[in-house]
Amino acid sequence: MSQATPENPGEILLGRAKVIKGYTNTVWSLAIKDNLIIYGSNEKTIKICDINSGKCIKTLKGHTNSVKSVAIKDNLIISGSDDKIIRIWDIDSGSCIKTLEGHIDSIWSVAIKDNLIISGSRDDTIKIWDIDSGSCIKTLEGHANCVWSVAIKDNLIISGSYKTIKIWDIDTGLCLKTLEGHTHWVNSIAIKDNLIISGSFDKTIKIWSIESGMCIRTLKGHMGTVRSVGIKDNLIISSSFDDTIKIWDINYGLCVKTLKGYNCWIVSIAIKDNLIIYGSADKTITIHPISLSPNELNKFQQVINSYWLPEYLEQHLMDCFKTSKD
């Protein structure tokens, strides 16, 4: 194998995981399109890598500070940066098509719905942009602190900030609900049907009803900040600054698997088919299958059969799965 470089990372196979090395800084954000991994980092660039070979196909340059968030729409990449700017890139040519300016502080999260870009910023606001014109259509104000995360469900925007999550109407720009329950920053939000899944600095994951705004369940098990959450069918995947990734059953709130052995923060995750792709503070990207061994499945079923009362499930989580290995 040739020596890894930033433009031609090497890969190391560890058990069932593929580790892509050769980058020079923390991987803050990830998105997947077909067989391509798109990621942003402290390098101030966006890289497009082949998921199979691990090779860097293109490096997109233009941002002047860390790229904190990336999203994909068709053949467009949308990136948000600490330089207060959103850029729209052509994935084929690697060229920057548009530059969107309006935020007065770092942009920490971007999401896409149809021809709209939604951005959350350290300036405490959310902006809605038109992709075609590049103009800002609305600015949503209501959070008292930085907006760490944004997500979209139909005509709703869901945003996470300090201790709160807000649900907004995308057409009117009005805040419909404020969800309270976390005790620290809400770093990441994912949507599953009519449920909101949120990860927080308070080390927990919460599952909320969009309709009622009520917290249905709190998932405890991480020993550090929950930096990112994602959804695959009925599984929640969470990454943490405790150097682990956990896989949870969304219906029961049980941790069915813990991936360990990473001596660094797990900063970002993306999901493709049955693969978890995650970026770390050790400058690597890792690709790991989402799968449970027969023994793990058996353990999980035993919990469901023996501890069917909800009040028992959370306590038994730590007892039954504390020795779970990847």
Q: Is residue 326 part of a domain?
A: no
User: What string of DSSP letters covers 101-127?
Assistant: E--SS-EEEEEEETTEEEEEETTSEEE
Q: Is residue 31 part of a domain?
A: yes
In this predicted model, what pLDDT tens digit does every residue of 43-76 receive, in sequence order?
Answer: 899 999 888 888 889 999 999 999 999 999 999 9
Average confidence (pLDDT) over 124-137: 96
135/101 Cα distance (integer angstroms)? 9
Please state, in angstroms and as integers, the Cα–Cα distance from residue 106 to each residue in 74, 109, 147, following that order.
Answer: 25, 9, 10
Provide the pLDDT for residue 148: 95
Q: Structural domain tally of the chain?
A: 1
Provide the pLDDT for residue 119: 98
Is residue 8's pLDDT more than 60? no
Q: Is residue 253 part of a domain?
A: yes
Provide the pLDDT for residue 300: 57
Q: Are 169 and 152 in contact (CB under 8 A)?
A: no
Q: Is residue 4 part of a domain?
A: no
pLDDT band with cut points at 50, 70 and 90 for residue 261: low
Q: Is residue 230 part of a domain?
A: yes
112, burial (CB in 10 Å: exposed 0-12, middle 13-18, buried 19+): middle
Is residue 164's pLDDT more than 60? yes
Q: Is residue 39 part of a domain?
A: yes
Is residue 293's pLDDT more than 70? no
In this predicted model, what pLDDT tens digit does every residue of 309-322 receive, in sequence order?
Answer: 454 445 444 444 44
Residue 186, both tokens: 């809400």
Average confidence (pLDDT) over 210-217: 95
Provide the pLDDT for residue 312: 46
Percent of the chain with pLDDT over 70: 81
Is residue 204's pLDDT more than 90? yes
List the 116-121 sheet strands across, edge first.
Answer: 107-113, 116-121, 125-130, 136-141
Is residue 99's pLDDT more than 60? yes
CATH number of the domain that residue 54 is part of: 2.130.10.10
Residue 38, both tokens: 């798109």
Spell out where 63-115 has E strands. 67-73, 76-81, 85-90, 96-101, 107-113
Range of the domain at 278: 26-321
80/63 Cα distance (integer angstroms)? 9
Is residue 212's pLDDT more than 90? yes
pTM: 0.83
80/103 Cα distance (integer angstroms)? 10
Q: Is residue 214 part of a domain?
A: yes
Q: Is residue 42 part of a domain?
A: yes
**What is the rounded average pLDDT for all residues in the chain?**
84
